[in-house]
Structure formats: structure tokens, C-alpha cells
Chain A
Amino acid sequence: MTIRTAIALSTIVAGFAGALSGATLTPAEVEFFEQKIRPILAEHCYECHNSVDKKKGDLALDYRDAVLEGEVIVPGDPDKSPLIIAIRHEGDDYEPMPSKAPQLANVIIKNFEEWVRMGAPDPRTEKPTKVDLERQVDWETVRERRQEWWAFQALRKTAAPRADDQEWDGNEIDRFVHAGLQAQNLVPQNVASPETLVRRVHLILTGLPPSPGVVAHFVADPSMAAYEGMVDGLLALPAYGERWARYWMDWYRYAETHGSEGDPPVPYATQYRDYLIRAINADVPYDQLIREHLAGDLLAHPRINEGLGLNESAIGPGHFRMVPHGFGVTDAYGEQVTFTDNQVDVVSKAMMGLTVSCARCHNHKFDPISQRDYYKFYGIMISSRPAVVNVDAPALQDLHRQELAALKEEIRKGFSVHWLGQVDEAIRRLEGGKFEKTAETDPLAGWALLKDLDEEGLTKKLGDLRDKHLATLEDNEKAKAAATFYADLRDPETYKEWFRNGNGLGAAPSPAGSFAISVEGAKAITGIYPAGVYSHLISDKHNATLSSAFHLAKGSKAAVRVIGSKAVSRFVVRSYALSHGGLHPAPEMKPTLGWVGLGKYDYWNGDQGYFQFATGPDSTNRPGGGRSWFGALEVYAGDEGLREVGAPIVSLPGAMEAITDRASLLEFYRKSLREAVVAWREGALNDERALFLDAFVSRGFLSHELAGLPEGLRAQVDRYRRLEGEIRIPQRAPGVMEGEIWDQPLLTRGDYKKEEEPVERAFLEAFGGERYSKSESGRRELAEDILREDNPLTSRVIVNRLWNHVFGRGLVASADNFGRLGKEPSHPALLDSLAIDFRNGGWAMKPFVKQLVMSRTFRSDSASPAANGVRDPENLQLAHFTPRRLEAEAILDTINAVAKGGGVQRAMFRPVIRNRLDPFLSTFNFPVPITTVGDRDLTNVPAQALALMNGKEVEQAAREWSGRVVRERATPEARVELLFLQAYARLPSPEERAACLAYLEGKAPDESGPLRVKHAEQSAELVALNKERAEMLAPVRATLQLEVDERNAAATRDRKSVDLKPIGRWDFTGDARDAVGGMDGVLHGEAKIEDGALVLAGGCMMTPPLPQNLGEKTLEVLVQMDPITQRAGGAMTVQLLDGGVFDSVVFAERDAGEWMAGSNGFARTEPFGGAREEEAGERPVRIVIVYHGDGRIEGYRDGKRYGKSYRKSALQRYGEGQAQVVFGLRHGGEPQVGRMLTGRIFEARLYDRALTAEEVLTAESGFVMEVVNSGMVEKALSDSQRNQLVALDAKIASLTAAIAELDRQLAARDGAQAASGDAYYRLAHALLNSKELIYVH
């Protein structure tokens, strides 16, 4: 629905004196319309209400007759004019206009009312064309109008009004606030109590509660001087930076991973977090931090932390890398648009409170930001590239560099002397050398290929080699000529065009003969190299990233000619930082020089990318690693590829002439080697000779084993190694490096498939300014523009942010949006005044925060003065301090601080893993790290209550806290006092004291009575049923038993007995005696010995105390069950005499049909996960549970491993005389339904060691005894008996299930009862759940 609505306007006043009728307009009327009305109509109404292409609600407002026809104006009567009603957002009949936009400013609405009152004079007599319309909503005009919004107005200093109340006449804040209160006839609240104040200021400044000692101290002397001292002390604590750095992390959406599939890490992300903490604690000025955030790597005078040896400034740009990334993206440009947009979004919002990223697809809908502005920012961002940055202080980056370089020259001389004396020896070694699989391009291949040929053959082969060599050279030249990309990094001019980062790269490529000293191992030299770019010529701890200009991928292949260790080469498509998923390969270099293909280059044809080399720890896609290096010589892309030329013997001067036979071949090598060493000494090697020399060195033909070096040379190498050892592995941080300057084409409607002309990088149109230089990304210029004196946003935004974090609400409530959709300031003059002072005071944050917390405004009590009634319900005028819930981290820190009394690791150090954000913190509104968050949500959801009521964090804290308080104080009163002091920084009121004592003494009603009664009843019934069943089957069984006994007797005659030396052995042949250790059983309840078995049906058997200690052990029991549906009974148990601690062979306690190693409270129990027991009703099964010394527990069934072994906790040891063995009862002192097994036990053994698998198998094979099984019994029954049995079994089954459920409920109750802990635990837990604890007030 639009302005035109259902209600018809019948009352147009025709012929009204005004201009709607078409009368001639006065110049004043025309001026009024042109200045006040037309621009508004054009900007806010024409888009939907025009007579050319969109006439929403059948209304056009773009010329007079259309307005007339629309019947939306009653000339002279604004209150009756639908247009006015709609823009006032009044009434239900009209949709508020403009729709989907904030209400027009009051002054505009007044102008429209005035215009209607004038009779709506309208000079627009002609119906406009499309072009007319476009001209009328011309962007410049719109932008200028939008710049009238308060936030774009220059800062204005207003003298603070004097307050008549002396208390409020102190600082500027109080005077402005006081004036605001007076203007609204509000009275200010009194100063808060010292207890309240001390807690408030601690929580606000450090996020931690004060200790009782500090509270007592301040309560004793609550003077302003004492308060100021306390504030200064808090501002100086490391905890201050830890709290306030977290706000910055919110502003810059700090995260340690990129999200998406695999959630890959942002390498070294925590470096940025720690940098923030240090910077805030050191009170680094805000303008400096802005410069560092945007261009810390480019500052002429970076901020050096001498203590840590860090270039702090260089860490600032780390936030650029905290963008979300897709995984192995197929659409690289789309990905670039998305992550660059995120950078633009965060930078503009965090620093200026502007939503520049809203202008990606079109000019901003509400603010004076054009689409071109957006692409200016885009260009600045994309002119830098993701990188890992060496953030060591320059002195460390250059440590010993000169000295090592000089030393190397000495070493070079030393080696040349050493080697010149070794030439003959080297040639002898060549003669004796083995050369399998040597490439023809290897300088020594000539020897291998030619040495055994006759003269003719040799000459021919030599010719072949030369021809091949020349052909390779020629082919390569052709391929280069046709390449879509070729770079020769040996050429200084080419190298200059590349972008480099790190202390391992020099200003120019290195000449042939450059070499690296090996810093560990027996050999002294890593390699002697042809000309190229090398990162490790001083140390392979030095870091390096080298990348090309953008290149539009074209051709079937790309390759790089490189050598290196743990370093990577990549074709980086659209600056995508990751290499996950196969489409963005980053092959690792090998320590031999050669061409390495960059896979997937063809896949990326048509996309922009750049070639890049990086030492391993500097790759943006994976963190870590120590030493790494690379050498890069050439890069090729195209359809053909380049071959390795190498340095075959024929490439050396004079080879063709000199070599005729084996002797001359050898001589040629000798001569060439001598020349090469001399040339190397003189620094006059070419590439071929460098490779030639390296061939002798790398194979050890020219020895460089440390042990064999002349003393002086050895000392030099040792010294080199010592000095190099003093260089540290650099501290690294995520960051960016300068790349190709890239003016981004404007994308029509944000669609990258619709590129228009590039937009030159510059600052926002609203502030004007020069285009940025063509020689750097523009980050440095952007920082200066953001800090420009005529840009009022930056200082307003930061003082407002700081205010917000102190008072819980900014003077501008929308901390991240100062645009039209944001809020207007509650105290504009105060805001400006603070912003100006902040800027003039050197952008210092600590003094500013101090000023806030010192103010009288801050120190007010947190209750609303009764006299103010319900006026100013949101407390915009700050008549009192606004209480608020703490942020997630402060809640957790407070809980842990009271629990441990300090010294806890703070929540802000918990990893921020995008795909697994911390559950506790998230529950309390920890923001998803995706964009700037200047004021977190403070929602109220049940998940929070659940986390506090039932969560582990609080439970553990309550346990520690109550334990400590009980230890430290003797009486209930004193303990309650201490709890209150620690939790709330105050003593309990008399009522609270009484309530706490009552709570300590109270008891929860035991609701388990009825359950227990029911349990007893059902248990008795079950016993009776089992008895009935046993009696019914007894005669049948007896008959069958006789038959079985006979067969068993026959079988056992041949049995070989195996003695595994148990400490107890029960065979139940006629009695309950232990055949080994004298632990004869005593029968309890309905248990008996019958037919060679212990028959269990409501009874159990117990032994006297064990006569020895029992640690490692094995329980073996041969058991049959009846019925198999039973639950939770124990077959064989070792327990302390009272049954409180036990280890038992238990059936089906947790899961139906599963055997498990039962124990008290499942302390040593985990499911084995073995197969569901199906057979033990039909025949006995042998269950063996082995308890190892390390706590590992294994189960066996019939000699075979049952499920998986596991270790849950330590082995339970039982002392001599304190434990016993029990059969048929899981644990306890007497038969108890729910823990009992029904069935038969034929044998049992107890061992005081952990049996091996072989032993278990032996135990198994030792006895095979036939028994009477239920199948036999059933078969022998008459039909009526069988029916009776079925009915009985059904009853038993359902009763058993019911008892098991009751048992489960009772056990859960017992568990919960135990977890409820003692009275002090419960009190501490309750206080941690109280709202006062998680509020700052």
C-alpha cells in the first residue's frame, strides 16, 4: 500500500488561492519549492512515484498535474493531506513514507507542512522525461543534501554550561550532563556507595571484581584522592589492556580461522591480539593505532618494542587477514569481491562509523557515499596482498648481517685456496665416481657418458651433446617468445618489477657463484648457485615473499625454475590466500634446481593472478615451521614449457676443441675446475661455471667436511655458525604487503561480470581530496585522510566507542553507524567537545577513559531517583548510572576469579575458531566474528540460565570457591560474609545473611520414598516368582542333570588341566570352597550350590576378606543366565567390604545384552561395545575381565576379545583384608534386587595379575563342560508346564524391567544428590547464579 489508499478524498478544495490551481507563482513561492521541496521529492519519492516507469499505488509526484490527480494534498490543510500524514508516520490508513527508509527529518516535514499551507505552489507544469528525472536526482545534489546529516558537520566547541551545584561543576562531562538533566527537570542521583563504586570501576576498567582487601581499603577511605589512586592503579594493570583489547577485537572481527569447510587457520593470528593488549596498556595514541592498523608496515618510523624485539607497528594490519574465506574456491573473482568487501566494511565501520560496503551495488541508499567511493576503497585494499609479515625489530632483522656477509667473503677466499690445492684430488674422485641417472645437463654427465668411448665414438657423442644443448637453447628462446608470461628474475630490471617482503631478499638478484653456508651438520656449504634471487644467503631463518604483477592466466601450463627447502611456489588467483582443496596448489620446492609445474594454471585461464614464492612459514595458508629458503630464477606460462638447460660439459668454453679422448677429457675437467675456483674467488663466475663448481662441491669431490678443513677456515665457518645461531626465528604476524597498484573497475550492480572503467583510488567524495599516488597502495594516504582534521567522524566515533564501553550506551547509541540509519547524539555539544579535546590532547585513550570514570556522572548510584518518576526511562540523560549485564568474558572471568581468588587465564585468550565458537561465551552474546561490533547484544535466553544452572564451568567454580571459603573461615557467618565480599564486594544485609544461613541449613525434601517402597514391593514379588519358577523346573532339571553329569564325566577323563595360578578358584563341585586361597564362599539369600554350579535366584555368595593386596587383576567367570533379558546383575565382583568401591563382571546394566566392567559410579566403566549377548541363556559363557596396571581394561568372551579395551581412569587397588569377592551381586553388603544376577555360575577364578590374551585362551580351552540348558529343559516340559513357564517368564521379564527402571531412577537421584554437594557448594553455586554477580551497577 502506498500513500494513495482506499479512502477516497472527496474534499479537494477546488480553486484554492494557491498554485495547485495553476495560478502564477510568486518568486518567493518558486524559491521555496525549488529549495525545500523539489530536492526532497526527487531524492525520496521519484524512484517509486514517477510518471515515466514506476507509479506505485497509482501515484506520481514528479509534476504538478500528477500530484493533483493523486489527491494527496489538501491545499492549506496539512493535517488533512495524506502526503503529510504519510511522511509524519501518522494514522493507520497510510503506509509510513518513504517506505524502507528512516523518517524524514523534522525540519523537512515542517517545510512540507508549510508548503501545503501555502497552497502547495508547484512550478512543475510539464510532465518530465526520463532524462529530466535522472537530472533531478543527480548524485551531487543528493550527496550534498545527505551531508547535512549531523555526523558530517564540522566539530564545534561549545563552552560547557556552568552548573549551579558545585559537585557537578567540575569537569566538562558533568556540566553538560547536569545541564541536560536540568533542561528536562530531572534530578541527579547521589554518589554511589564506596562498595558499589569500587566494584563498578574494577569491572569496567579490568573486567574483574575487586578482592575483599581492596574493597575494605577503599571503604575505609572513600575520598576522591583514594578513588583517583585506585583508578590510576587499575589503568596501569595488564588486566586493563586485556579487557579493552577485546573491544578492539570486536571492532575488527578478530578470528583465528577463516571459517568454511576445514576452517583453516589464519597463521599467527594471536600476534594481533597480543599486540592490541600491549598497545592499550602502553596507551599508544589512537591516531598512531589507526596508522598502524592501515599501514603499520609502511611507516617511516615504526614503533619498536625493544624488550620483545618487535616492530609493533607492523602487526597493526593483521586484521585485514581476518576475513572469512571460502574453501578451495572455484569462483576466485567472486571470492575476492566477498573478502575485499569484508575489509572495506570493517575498516569503514570501525574507524568512521560508516557503512561504505552498502555502496557496492549502487550509491548508498541513505548516506553521502557513492558507488565510486566503494570502489576507491576496494582498489586500496586489493593493491595490497595477503602476506605473512616478519615483525621483528629492524635491528633483529639485520642482526650480524654485515658481519656475516664480510665473513662469507673470507670463507670464500679460504675455500678457494683450500680447493685449488685439491683439484687433482677432485679429478681423481671424479674418475672413481659413480654416475647413475645423471641428467645430460649435469656438468659431470659428460664424464660419465664419454669416458669409456673410443675416439670416434667420443667425438660423435660430444657432437650430439652439443647439438642437444643448442637445440634446447633454441627451443627455450622460441617458447619464451610465445609465452603468455615470462620473467627472468636474474635480470635486475625484471626483479625490480616484482613485489618483495621479508629480510631474506636483497635489492637486486644475486650473481652467479653466490653461495650459502650450511649452519649445521658435517658439511660447510649448502650450495654454490647460478645467478638468481635467493632468500638464505645470510641465514635460512630469514624470511621472504616474492610476487609478480597481476597476470591474466592464459595457456596450458605454468612453471617456475626454483630451488629451495620447505618453501612454496604458487599462482595466486585473485589474491586468494589459501591453497586448500586441490584447485590452488602450492608445490613445495626441492633442494635441486629445476622447473616445477604449477598445476591448475589452465583451470584458471581467464582470471587475474600473480606468481608468488614464499619461505614455508611465510605462506599465508599454513602456520609454523622454522628454517626455510628458496632460490627463484625464472617463471614461465604458456603452451609450450621450458626445459632445463643446466651446464652440460659442452656449454663450457673450449670443450669441443679440447676433448678428443679420455685423457684430454679428464684434463679438460681439471683445467675447467681450476678456472672455476679461481673465477669464483674473483667473483667472476657465470651460471654454467657456477653449476660446474657446485657439481664438484655438492658431490664432495671438492671437500668441505668441517673435519678436514684447514684450521683457519674451520674457525671462520665455526664463527659463522655461532653468529648465525644468534639470529632468532623471526616473530611473524598476519598482514599484507604492497602489490601492484590496482584501480578497481566499478562493477555494475556489484556484478563482477560487468566491469566498467577503473575508479582511481582516493578518499570519500564527501571529504574531497587528491587522488592517491600511483606508487603505493594508498593505505598510508587513507590513514591520513581518516585522521584528517576536517573529517569529524573519526574522533567522534572513537570517543563515543570509549564512552559506550564505560557507560553501556554511547552518546550516539549506534556506535558502528553514524549514518542516517544510526542515532543522533543525546548530548551533541558534549560529544563534539570530547572529540575536539581528544584530538587536541594527542588522541590518548587512557586519560580519556580516566576522565570518564572520574566524572560525577559515572559515580552516581545505579538506582533511579524517585523524584524522576518514569521520565527518561532509558536514562539518556544519565540521572543515574545505568546498570547492565556484563559481557560474556567478564562473566566468565568473574566466575573464575571468585573461584580461584585470581590468577586465572582470562576468557579473552580462548581461541576464536569460527566454526567452533566457545559455547559458554556464545551463549552470552559473544559476537560471530564477521563484521564490526561496537555494542554487543545483551539478550536474555534460557540457554544462559541453563549454562549457569547446569554448566560445568559454574559447577567447577562453585566447588573450588566453596572449598576455599570453608578452609579460610571457621563459622557459617564468616563464610557467608566472605562469599558476599568476593562475589559482590559488599557484606550481606541482615536479611540476606539470614536467608543464606537458612539456605545452608535447609534440606531438599527427599521425594524418593515412594520409589523406594515400590522398589521393595516389586523386589519381593520378583524373588517369589523366581522361586516359583525354580521349584517348577527342579524335577525336570534333576533328571536332565543326571544325563549331563554322565557325559561330562566321560569328557573330563581326557582333560588336561592347566594351572594359570589363580589366587582364588571356585568350582562349585558340591560346595562353595575356594580350592586355592581359602576364600570359601558364604551363601546369602536364595543362593545354593547344585549340580556343580552356584545357582543364583535372588541370592548371592560372598567370601571373607582377601588375604593379600590386589592391584592388577583378572576376573574369570563361567556363567549361564536365566532369563537373558535380565538387567544389571553382577556375576563376579571384587569390592571393598562395604560394597562402596568395586570392580565387577556386570551384565546389561547400561545397554541390554552387553557385558561390561562395572564399577562404582561407572568410575572405571565404559561400554566395551561388544556384540549383544544372545547365547548365555542356552549355555554358559566364559567372561574374563582383565585389569591392567595402567588402568586399561579388557574384556573377553569365550576366549575371544569382547569389544574394545579402554582406559578411563587409574587401576583400583584393594588393600589386604579390606576387600572380598562376591558372586551374583553387583556390589553391596546383602542381596539387593536390581544388582543381582539370576542364573548359574559354574566356575570362577581370581588372579592377582593381568592375564595375557594367550592365557585367557588357555583358561577358555581348559574346560568344556556340558550343562543343562533352557532348551533341554523346555523340550522336557509337558505342554501345560511349558505354558506355565511362558506366563511366568513374561511376568518375570516385565517385573525385572520395572525394577530396573526404578533402580535407574533411584541411581540418578543418588547421583544428583551427590552432585548437589555440601551446603557451601550449594550456596556458592547459587551466588554464581545470582544476577548481581553478572551485573555491573
Chain B
Amino acid sequence: MSIDQSSRREFLKLTSCGVSAVTLSSLINGSQAWGATEPKLHHSARAKSVILLYMSGGVSHVDSFDPKPLLKERHGQAMPVELERTQFDANGNIMASPWEIGRYGESGLEMTNMFPKIAACADDLAIVRSMTAKFSEHAQANFFMHTGFPFLGYPSAGAWVTYGCGSANPNLPGYVVLQSKQAGTPHGGVSLFGNGFLPATTQGSIFKISGDQAVPNISPGMLKSEQRRALDFIGQLDRGFADRVAAKDAVMASVQNAETAYLMQEAVPELTDISGESEATKALYGVNSDNAQQAEYARQCLMARRLVERGVRFVELSCCNQGIGAGGAANPWDQHGDLEKGHGAMAEQVDGPIAALLADLKERGMLEETLVVFTGEFGRTPFSQGSNGRDHDPYGFSLWLSGGGVRGGQAYGATDELGYKAVHNIATVYDLWATVLHQLGIDHEKLTYRWSGRDMRLTDVHGKVWDGLVT
């Protein structure tokens, strides 16, 4: 019996209620630990893993990847078009960007100098300048970006990817979210990384890499040798139970599951221990930087590479809070005020580490099969909020992709001359995920799951692959 995508949920349910022995072997042998099965791809894959650099709070596109000379020219003038409703309803006039516009790389891709080190990788970046989101509020926009729906309860992209591709490492989850001391969960809560209706094995596992326990309950509460003895004893009781009731397969699967958990207890600490990395590598990322937030983010970037190396499919990184503007732990990029200072500090935090990640992946030949995505939940308005901030702008913003079969050194789509709204090749969250899935060898229209009377998709009933950006 092969496990058909569409009936996988039922399969899991049946197994846990106890069915045939045939299913058991595929459960145990199929590195089922975190829901892994051999991927059944729709076409050959360009990428094996995805790294999502999530810029929670909303990066100002007009100050970074979608520079607009006109802002300087018209600084202080009223916006020439009628404005959509904004979250803070404190709309000011057009505000010039404090950053300088330049051309980077051989491709001469236009950006500002907000992220100088990332800009130096221009030839590896494909910028999408016509992104749109449907929501002006953080939590809904976060959910929308992650799941294609504005509320909790739907599977995150990472869960879909894990569902589609499985995990290549039986001891690690397929979808990992990295957090650290000062980097937490965006508005909306941990359901942003949820599996929704997909099997629980696909849900994002949060690794807190600066605490005692990267994963809840990962540290054994007793001596390892004592735990081994306990597992053997429990296994003995369980086998007796399995023989007495008609749930042998499910019980034994769950015995096996405990063994997997036992192994994970070692795999996870090994993963988060970076002492084996060379000093040069650590210095490249900046894990010992004097800038504490940068050092934390650098660790996340390095950890992302280690996770991808170990077969994790989808890694999401979280920014550290700098507490500037309206930015808080959940939305550090949210500079409704003090944009220059806030975005400046945030950019410094992530610029070096991200550039190092790209360089390191490239150096190791991993960039080709790792798709890196840089995005926030929306952009920021070209006009000011108060004297020196910008409000949320979901009508047009930028993201970029790199690696994983992406053709670098190009931009796709455009906003209007002031950067307010996307006007050319309008791009959506659905397109983003359609493209990501495509690079992973998955047809986004075929990756479905029947739930609540519908065949659900990450891209709902939308989405088109950005053909021009990828090979």
C-alpha cells in the first residue's frame, strides 16, 4: 500500500486506531518521526530546502529594495492620489528616504544602501517589487503571508512544504522556526507555524537557540542510562498490551515513536552546538559580534545552514527586537516613528549575517539547492506617519529570493512612481508560494488536502509561478 497524498490524514488516523500490519512497516520504516515520507514530486526539484528570513513588522520597501528618486524630489508634498485606509490614520506628506540609491553587482540592480552587504550579493538576488497583501494589520498579514489565510487554523507554508516533501532527517522536524533570547513570535502567536488540518508531524517546531532547551521537553529528566532502562521496561509492558488488544500496530508505532524521541534528545543538542564550527565561519556570520542583536541573528543564520545541511526542509528565522518606533518583540521592523534609526538598527542586525549565510551556502555549494526568501508581512507607506515614521503599506512592497534555482540580478514587477501601490505584474502571496513549491518540485495546484468539504491548497484557488525569476 502506498501512501497517497490525499488520504494521508486518514491513513494516520486509521493507523492510530489500529489497522493492518502492512501500514505499520511503512510507518516505522518511512522515517515517520516528524511526518517524513519519500517525497512524491510532480517534477524535478531545483531546491531541496527553504530558508525564510521573516522581517516581522514590515520592512520599508521604498527605503530598501524599491528605491524611488521621486520621494526626495517631492519630499513634504501631499500625496497626489487618494489614500487607502491606514492602520494609524495619521497620514503625513511624502517623505524622502534617508538612504542613498545605488546600483549593485554586475547586474546593476537598484537598491539603497540600507543593506550594504546584502546589496553586494545583488547578482544572486531576484527582487519582487510588486508584492501585495490583503491586510493592514500585523497578525492578519502575518497569517496571510504564512498560510494564505488571515487567521489561525490553516497550515503554514513550512507545514505544506513538509507535507509535500517530508523530512530528510528522521531525527529532526521538517519545519523549524528559529528563535532566540530577543527574537520571538510575530503577532498572531505560534499558530503562524501551525499545521492547521495537516498531520501534526508537519507543524513548525520552535528551536529557541539561546535557552537551556532548544525544544520543549528535549532534555531528559533523568540519567540517560536510566531512561534507556525505563524505555526498555516500558517497551516490555507495551508489547504485552499490544498483544492483548486489537491495536497492535498503533501501540507499536507509538513505542517506536518513543525511541525516535530518545534519539532526538541527542540530535537536537548536537545541532545547536556550534562549537565545532571554525573560527572563520563564526567570524563570517558574526556570532560573537559586539552588537548583541546582530550576534543573535548571526547564530540563527548559522543554525539555518546547519539545519538545511541536516535535511530540514523549511527553516524560518526571527528578528531580534530593537525597541525602536512602534517595534516590539513581535514586530521589530514596525517603525511608525523613528524610521531611520529603527530601520538602520534592524538592517545592521540582519545585513551581515544574511550576506554571510548567502556566502557560506554558496561556498559549500548549497545555495543552488536552498531557496532563500526575504520578506515581511507588508511594506511601508511612501508618505510619513507623524514626522519621521511610515505606516503599513500592503498595496505594494518588495521581497527577494535567492538560490534554489532563482536567477539572480533581476527585479520583477513594479510599484507606481512613489512606491505606494503595485502596478506592474502585481504579485501575491499565492504567487510566492506557488513559486517556492515549484522550485521544490511541487505543483501548487496539486498539493491538496481534503478538509472541511474542500480540497485545500496553500495557494487557495490562486497563484502563478514567477516563471521569469526561476530556472
Using a CB–CB cutoff of 8 Å, the interface residues on chain A facing chain B are: 100, 259-263, 324, 326-331, 334, 338, 345, 349, 355, 358, 365-367, 581-583, 600, 603, 808-809, 816-817, 819, 821, 862-864, 870, 873-875, 880, 882-885, 914-917, 919, 925, 928-931, 935, 937-951, 955, 989, 991-992, 995, 999, 1002, 1004-1007, 1309, 1312-1313, 1315-1317, 1322, 1325-1327, 1329-1332, 1335, 1337
Contacts and interface: CB of A to CB of B under 8 A. Distances in A.
B140 A260 contact: yes
Contacts of B454: 355, 358, 365
A260 B187 contact: yes
Given A330-B135, A583-B87, A1325-B222, 15 more contacts: A262-B139, A329-B136, A355-B454, A883-B247, A915-B189, A939-B199, A945-B258, A946-B264, A947-B217, A949-B261, A1322-B222, A1330-B234, A1330-B241, A1331-B255, A1335-B241
B289 interface: no
B4 to A, nearest CB: 11
B2 interface: no
B18 A882 contact: yes
Contacts of B222: 1312-1313, 1315-1317, 1322, 1325
A410 B17 CA distance: 73
A1097 B120 CA distance: 53
B3 interface: no
Contacts of B216: 919, 943, 946-947, 951
7 contacts: A261-B188, A885-B250, A939-B201, A944-B257, A951-B217, A1002-B229, A1326-B237
Nearest to B23: A873
B188 A259 contact: yes
Contact of A914 (B191, B241, B251, B254): B191
Contacts of B247: 862, 882-884, 1335, 1337
B261 A930 contact: no
A328 B137 contact: yes
Contacts of A873: 19-20
A324 B87 contact: no
A1330 B237 contact: yes
A925 B200 contact: yes
A1034 to B, nearest CB: 36
Contacts of A581: 87, 137
B278 interface: no
Interface residues of B, number: 89
A808 B194 CA distance: 25
A938 B13 contact: yes
Interface in B319-333: 330
A1004 B452 contact: no
Interface stretch (B146-154, B298-306, B338-346, B360-368): B146-154
B245 interface: yes
B220 A100 contact: no
Closest 3 CB pairs of A and B: A915-B189, A930-B153, A355-B453
Contacts of B220: 949-950, 1312
Interface string B15-35: 111111000000000000111
B250 A874 contact: no
Most buried by B among A326, A874, A941, A947: A941
B253 interface: yes
A147 B215 CA distance: 50
Contacts of B194: 928
Contacts of B89: 582-583, 600, 603
B201 A941 contact: yes
B317 to A, nearest CB: 20
B237 A995 contact: yes
Contacts of B88: 582
Given A883-B18, A883-B246, A950 B140 contact: no
B137 A1004 contact: no
A592 B20 CA distance: 76
Nearest to B194: A928
B189 A916 contact: yes
A928 B190 contact: no
B271 interface: no
A1148 to B, nearest CB: 17
Helix, strand, loop or mixed for chain A's interface? Answer: loop
A603 B83 CA distance: 11
A329 B265 CA distance: 43
A330 B18 contact: no
Given A261-B188, A873-B19, A1005 B151 contact: no
Contact of A863 (B15, B246, B250, B254): B246
A863 B453 contact: no
Interface in B107-155: 134-140, 143, 150-153
A863 B245 contact: yes
Interface of B: 9, 12-20, 33-35, 84-89, 134-140, 143, 150-153, 187-191, 194, 196, 199-201, 205, 215-230, 233-234, 236-238, 240-242, 244-247, 250-251, 253-255, 257-258, 260-262, 264-265, 330, 448, 450, 452-455
A1327 B236 CA distance: 11
Contacts of B223: 1004, 1309, 1312-1313, 1316
Given A949-B217, A950-B219, A1331-B242, A817 B453 contact: yes
A456 B437 CA distance: 89
Contact of B244 (A863, A884, A951): A863
Contacts of A946: 215-218, 261, 264-265
A1331 B254 contact: yes
Nearest to B186: A261
B85 A1325 contact: no
Most buried by B among A338, A874, A919, A1316: A1316
A937 B203 CA distance: 14
A1331 B238 contact: yes
Contacts of A819: 453
A297 B396 CA distance: 46
A991 B246 contact: no
Most buried by A among B34, B237, B255: B237
B225 A338 contact: no
Contacts of A995: 233, 236-237
Nearest to A338: B150
A334 B134 contact: yes
Contacts of B452: 345, 349, 355, 358, 816-817, 931
B260 A1315 contact: no
Most buried by A among B34, B201, B225: B225
B237 A992 contact: yes
B242 to A, nearest CB: 7
Given A260-B140, A328-B137, A603-B89, A937 B9 contact: yes
Contacts of A809: 17
Contacts of A338: 150-151
A1004 B139 contact: no
A882 B257 contact: no
Contacts of B187: 260-262, 327
A328 B87 contact: yes
Contacts of A945: 254, 257-258, 260-262
Contact of B448 (A100, A349, A991, A1004): A100
Nearest to B192: A915
A326 B189 contact: no
A875 B19 CA distance: 8
Given A863-B246, A949-B221, A939 B16 contact: yes
A597 B448 CA distance: 50
Nearest to B238: A1331
Contacts of A1315: 221-222
Contacts of B139: 259-262, 326-327
Contacts of B255: 1331
A821 B189 contact: no
Contact of A260 (B188, B219, B228, B261): B188
Nearest to B191: A928
Given A259-B152, A915-B191, A1335-B245, A940 B253 contact: yes
A150 B381 CA distance: 55
